[in-house]
Amino acid sequence: MKRKIAIGVIGLGKRGIGLLKGVILPREDVEVVAVCDLYEDRRERASALVETATGHRPAAVNNYAELLMMTNIDAVIVTASWTEHLSIAIAAMNAGKYVASEVGGAYSVQECWQLIEAYERTKSPCMLMENCCYGRDELMVLNMVRQGVFGEIVHCSGGYLHDLRNEISGGHVNRHYRLDQYIHRNCENYPTHELGPIAQVLDINRGNRLLSLVSVASKAKGMQEYVQRDNSTNPELAGVDFMQGDIVTTTIKCARGETIVITLDTTLPRYYSRGFTVRGTKGMYTEDNHSIFIDGRHDQDHGDWRRQWGNADTFREQYDHPVWKNYLAEGIKGGHGGMDWLVFNDFFQSVRQGTLPPIDVYDTAAWMSISALSEDSIALGGQPVAIPDFTNGKWISRRAK
Amino acid sequence: MKRKIAIGVIGLGKRGIGLLKGVILPREDVEVVAVCDLYEDRRERASALVETATGHRPAAVNNYAELLMMTNIDAVIVTASWTEHLSIAIAAMNAGKYVASEVGGAYSVQECWQLIEAYERTKSPCMLMENCCYGRDELMVLNMVRQGVFGEIVHCSGGYLHDLRNEISGGHVNRHYRLDQYIHRNCENYPTHELGPIAQVLDINRGNRLLSLVSVASKAKGMQEYVQRDNSTNPELAGVDFMQGDIVTTTIKCARGETIVITLDTTLPRYYSRGFTVRGTKGMYTEDNHSIFIDGRHDQDHGDWRRQWGNADTFREQYDHPVWKNYLAEGIKGGHGGMDWLVFNDFFQSVRQGTLPPIDVYDTAAWMSISALSEDSIALGGQPVAIPDFTNGKWISRRAK
């Protein structure tokens, strides 16, 4: 058997533990050499998990710099808090590690540039672990786009449409950093679901790029009403003002002329969706009723379009993405309906082969910068804000696989 | 029987004829005294229709000023081209008529102010005939909003989502003005579906107002590809550049802090929808899967929310709007699923009773101004643009019925 990939995991909260259980420990080609978290109980829990699964107890440290100094580590997985993703990723690149960075938004454009500069200096690859790029529907639609089924694409939309009120309000109890974000900031704080899949559909950084955005936030009423309704569980939140608007609408213009609408929608009651929508000159895909409309094939009868709901499933046989066909043939593994497994599978494959990951630093910087830029636009009353070209012109000649 | 309301109809294209057939001639309390159009064949057709239905031939004129001079006319219905709606409405108000103006968008903020000034000078009421305000779902949702079912409303969206490629490309043949709009302009050219119903949900001009907007247009590819594909029917359009972006996204901020996203989506293949969505602290309504989600009642199960699709129908018994309950009890009449009948019913009732119409000049100006303002915002690269307070402060004390 090939030598195992030696990894360190930085950040052992819910997500870190979930990844260990779901996609890291089940792999025979990966060895967890070290784990890191500020909290001792989390380190202990993770260490025990690794020991139970493998018989080997990993090193457990509270300072990630210590983990990065370990020369026997090939790659690190960063699942720390949003505020730390990029600085830890940069430190890891400087230490010569392959980096898998969990998703989140950037706080400034400058930290995105620092990531780029770290990569260009060290050539240590960094992949943003945007699992939604591996969703079955997202990949099927991407496959259809590449085959021209929807014609020329002119518009996409999507977002993070997930009622997180319970999770946010429990932040102080479960030590999740999200709560503080919602109290202090007002921006598109979680853009990469569904910007990631849309960026792939639109060849962003590969013949196209994100050019500018405008961002507008609604008032913030969801959290306030929620914690007042249930103040027995969250007495410390009584009277707290939440600055984060309930719905943030960000409209992005691309270099080739497409528009993208990204919505943050996490503090009002709703069903979960990523609202993925792709519009082309020959057809459309809509997640919210899981339908595909092909010009000349699905008629435009005003009253009877409900019969089309759910018809996207009928396109699976022809258009399911090869990645998913293989995956299903092998049997679904890992969390989030397989997306976690697939995104980490691509990461570990890059590490093993020494190749660049499919989602690279330029994507990471461009996608994460939307948070900082939307914060600027909202603060300026919806002012259009330019999105930097983090590739410094390389997007013109870079090509999608 | 009461004296009949004597009306003139200005504009006898498809819409004018449709209204005559569907909602005017069937009424026993309305008499068509005069009809007006630039085209003789249209005047002839309309006159014949009226004569067949009533035994009386109306006056037929090609100059609307002539019609407005007829002192026996109580009210005029303006279904002329978009470019003429407001100037004819203003002339009619100056002539002391009640005015029913068909929907469309304004070309400048100034013509909206002219409408306001004409009203404040003449006190002739003018109603924008936004039939979508009378849609059964729109009214049911409004009824639920007023009863607090969705909690405090923080966000709404909607639009005119209608594949018009065939209609637009046939413009030169069927003498429809839309074609020229799509060749020359780039804006939210048809905002009042669904801004009208949303404005009612959000008490616009009645305790709230539209404050500012940002508007971004995608590239324009739909029409070009459509006419090239089918250039046998539209040889005169070969090589024509269409300036109108396929998808225009306009985000409006309201005085009370709500956001509204309005989408124009008329030149790509799709099913018809008005995309009506209402989001509150206690629930949501979504037209695109016809569902209602009530906090604490519909669970947030990730995988299984499809079973909720279509459940809005289960709320009818409890929340159908009284206007619709009565209408259904009497039997549906008129076009567009009854909406035309209801909007004209309200207009004729105002005329008969000498009262102000439910959609007044302030609403007309505010809603129609979005076209001109979105044109500005798009031209300025998505710049936020202020929406005038056409009520000059009266919105603060005006109240919804």
Is A41 an interface residue toward B (CB < 8 Å)? no
Q: Please count the residue pairs, one from chain A and one from chain B, whose beta carbons lie less than 8 angstroms apart.
A: 170
Question: How confident is the model over B307-320, as pLDDT tens digits?
Answer: 788 999 999 999 99
> Do the chains contact at A249 and B272, CB–CB below 8 Å?
no
Are the beta carbons of B12 and B67 closer than 8 angstroms?
no
Q: Which residues pair with A293 in a beta bridge?
A: A284
Measured between its terminal Cα atoms, the distance across chain B in Å is: 30
What are the chain B neighbours of A156 within 8 Å (beta carbons)? none
Place of tokens 């960000």: A250
Residue from A270, A293, A297, A332 whose CB has the most chain B CBs within 10 Å, to mutate: A270
Q: Which residues of A touch B257 (CB under 8 A)?
A: 218-219
Tell me, yes or no, if A188 comes closer than 8 A to chain B by beta carbon: no
In angstroms, the CA B54 to CA B50 distance is 6
DSSP string covering A111-166, please? Answer: HHHHHHHHHHHH---EEE--GGGG-HHHHHHHHHHHTTTT-SEEEEEEEEE---HH
pLDDT by residue for chain A (401 residues), tens only, comes to 578 999 999 999 999 999 999 999 999 999 999 999 999 999 999 999 999 999 999 999 999 999 999 999 999 999 998 888 899 999 999 999 999 999 999 999 999 999 999 999 999 999 999 999 999 999 999 999 999 999 999 999 999 999 999 999 886 666 677 899 999 999 999 999 999 999 999 999 999 999 999 999 999 999 999 998 876 777 888 889 999 999 999 999 999 999 999 999 999 999 999 999 999 999 999 999 999 999 988 865 554 677 788 999 999 999 999 999 999 998 767 666 799 999 999 999 999 999 999 999 999 999 999 999 999 999 999 999 999 999 999 999 999 87
The CA-based dihedral angle spanning residues A69, A73, A75, A81, taken in that order and rounded to the nearest 10 degrees: -50
Q: How far apart are CA B338 and CA A257, in angstroms?
A: 39
ipTM of the complex: 0.95
Would you say A385 and A214 are in contact if contact means Cβ atoms under 8 Å apart? yes
Q: What is the pLDDT of residues B166-179, one digit of tens each?
A: 999 886 666 677 89
- Nearest chain B alpha carbon to A258: B218
The alpha-helical segments, DSSP class H, found in A185-249 are: 192-201, 222-229
Residue with tokens 């980096």: A99
Q: Which residues contact B4 (CB under 8 A, 6 or more apart)?
A: B28, B29, B30, B31
Mean pLDDT, chain B, as a whole number? 94
8 A C-beta contact, residue B279 and residue B155: yes
Instruction: Determine the Cα–Cα distance for residues B373 and A213; give it in Å rounded to an integer.
Output: 18
* Interchain pair B300, A151: CB under 8 A: no
Q: How far apart are CA A377 and CA B248, in angstroms?
A: 19
Size of chain B, expressed as the number of residues it contains: 401
Q: Rounded to a whole number, what is the distance in Å from the CA of A180 to chain B's nearest CA?
A: 21
A289 contacts in B (CB within 8 Å)? 288-289, 309
Q: Please, is A168 exposed, middle or buried when counting C-beta atoms within 10 Å of its C-beta (0-12, 13-18, 19+)?
A: buried
Contact A381 B212 (CB under 8 A): yes
Residue B297, pLDDT score: 87
Q: Which of A378, A103, A75, A102 is nearest to A243 (CA)?
A: A378
The CA–CA distances, whole Å, from A229 to A234, A376, B150, B250 equal: 10, 32, 15, 34
Amino acid symbol at B265:
D
Of B286, B279, B311, B308, which is closest to residue A265 (Cα–Cα)? B279
Q: Look up residue A234 and give its two tokens.
A: 């969250």
Nearest to residue A367, comparing CAs of A115, A76, A28? A115
Q: What pLDDT does A46 receive?
A: 98
Is residue B238 very low, low, confident or very high in pLDDT (cuts 50, 70, 90)? confident
CATH superfamily of B133-320+361-396: Dihydrodipicolinate Reductase; domain 2 (3.30.360.10)
Q: Which CATH number, 3.20.20.140, 1.10.238.10, 3.40.50.720, 3.30.2010.10, labels domain B5-130?
A: 3.40.50.720
Closest CA to A48 of A19, A21, A75: A21
Residues from chain B that touch A288, judged by Cβ atoms under 8 A, are 286, 288-289
What stretch of H or E contains B291?
strand B291-294
From the list A214, A288, A302, which residue is nearest B289 (CB)?
A288
Residue B22 DSSP class: I
Listed by number, the residues of chain B in 287-346 with a beta carbon closer than 8 Å to a beta carbon of chain A are 288-291, 293-296, 298, 300-302, 305-306, 308-310
Closest-CA distance, B43 to chain A, in angstroms, reads 30
Among B253, B268, B279, beta carbon nearest to A281: B268
The angle subtended at Cα A140 by Cα A139 and Cα A144, nearest 5°, is 115
The answer to whether A104 and A176 are in contact (CB under 8 A) is no
| Per-residue pLDDT, A319 | 98
Tokens of B14: 């498809």
What is the dihedral sign for C-alpha B332, B338, B343, B344? negative
| C-alpha–C-alpha distance, residues A87 and B74, integer Å | 73
Residues of chain A numbered 43-62 and touching chain B (CB < 8 Å): none
Asked if B308 and A271 come within 8 Å (Cβ–Cβ), the reply is: yes
Q: Which residues contact A62 (CB under 8 A, 6 or more apart)?
A: A36, A37, A38, A40, A43
Rounded to an integer, what is the distance from CA A380 to the centroid of its chain? 26
Sequence-ordered list of residues with C-beta below 8 angstroms from that of B229, at least 6 positions apart, any chain = none
For residue A154, the chain B residues in CB contact (below 8 A) are 218-219, 221-222, 246-247, 268
In this prediction, residue B330 has a pLDDT band, given cuts at 50, 70 and 90, of confident
Confidence at B400, pLDDT banded by 50, 70, 90:
confident
Q: How far is A318 from chain B (nearest CA, A)?
A: 21
Contact B281 A271 (CB under 8 A): no
Q: Which residues from A are below 8 Å from B222, CB to CB?
A: 154, 281
Instruction: Check residue B173 and give its pLDDT.
Output: 66
The answer to whether the beta carbons of residues A159 and A263 sit under 8 Å apart is yes
The candidate with the shortest Cα–Cα distance to A227, out of A170, A163, A272, is A170
Please state whether beta strands B98-101 and B30-36 pair in parallel, antiparallel, or not at all (unpaired).
unpaired
| A294:B270 CB<8 A | no
Q: In angstroms, rounded to a whole number, what is the distance separating the alpha carbons of residues A163 and B302?
A: 11
Return the higher-pLDDT residue of B53 and B333. Answer: B53
Q: Which residues pair with A252 in a beta bridge?
A: A213, A260
- Do the domains at B5-130 and B133-320+361-396 have one common CATH topology? no
Alpha carbon of residue A334 to chain centroid: 16
Instruction: Using a CB–CB cutoff of 8 Å, tell me whether A70 touches chain B.
Output: no
Q: Would you tell me how many other CB atoms lie within 10 Å of the CB of residue B72?
A: 10
Question: How far is residue A153's CA from residue A162's CA, in Å, rounded to a whole number?
Answer: 26
Residue in B247, B258, B288 nearest the CB of A279: B247
DSSP-assigned letters across all residues of B232-257: TT-GGGTTPPP-S-SEEEEEEEETTS
Taking the C-alpha atoms of residue A60 and residue A291, their distance in angstroms, rounded to an integer, is 48
Check CB contact under 8 Å for A294 and B269. yes
- Shortest CA distance to A280 belongs to which of B187, B221, B239? B221
Residue of B nearest to A261 (CA): B249
User: How confident is the model at residue B301, as a pLDDT?
Assistant: 53
In chain B, residues with a C-beta closer than 8 Å to the C-beta of A301 are 271
Residues in chain A: 401
Q: φ, ψ for residue A194 (rounded to 5)?
A: -120, 20
Residue B260 distance to chain A (closest CA, Å)? 9
> What is the β-pairing status of strands A153-161 and A277-280?
antiparallel
Minimal Cα–Cα distance from A77 to chain B, Å?
Answer: 26
Characterise A104 by phi-psi region: left (phi > 0), alpha (psi -120 to 50), beta (else): left
What does R_g of chain A's alpha carbons equal in angstroms? 21
What share of chain B has pLDDT > 70, as a percent? 96
Q: Where are the domains of chain B?
A: 5-130, 133-320+361-396
State whether A300 and B217 contact (CB < 8 Å): no
Cα→Cα distances B192→A13, A134, A368, B132, B369, Å: 48, 39, 35, 8, 10
Q: What is the pLDDT at residue B154?
A: 98
Please, what is the Cα angle at B33 between B29 and B39, to 5 degrees? 130
Helix (H, G, I), strand (E, B) or coil at B33: strand
- The whole-angstrom distance between B307's CA and the closest CA on chain A is 11
In the stretch 142-161 of chain B, residues with CB closer than 8 A to chain A read: 151-152, 154-155
Element (DSSP H or E) covering residue B198: helix B192-201
In this complex, which of B216, B265, B284 lies closest to A270 when CB atoms are compared? B284
Contact yes or no for B269 and A257 at CB 8 A: no
B359 within 8 A of B132, measured Cβ to Cβ: no
> CB-based contact (8 Å) between B273 and chain A?
yes
Sequence-distant (6+) residues with CB within 8 A of A33 are A6, A7, A8, A58, A59, A70, A72, A73
| A302–chain B nearest CA distance, Å | 6
Q: Which structure tokens are listed for B33?
A: 């005294």
Amino acid at B387: I
pTM over cut 0.80: yes
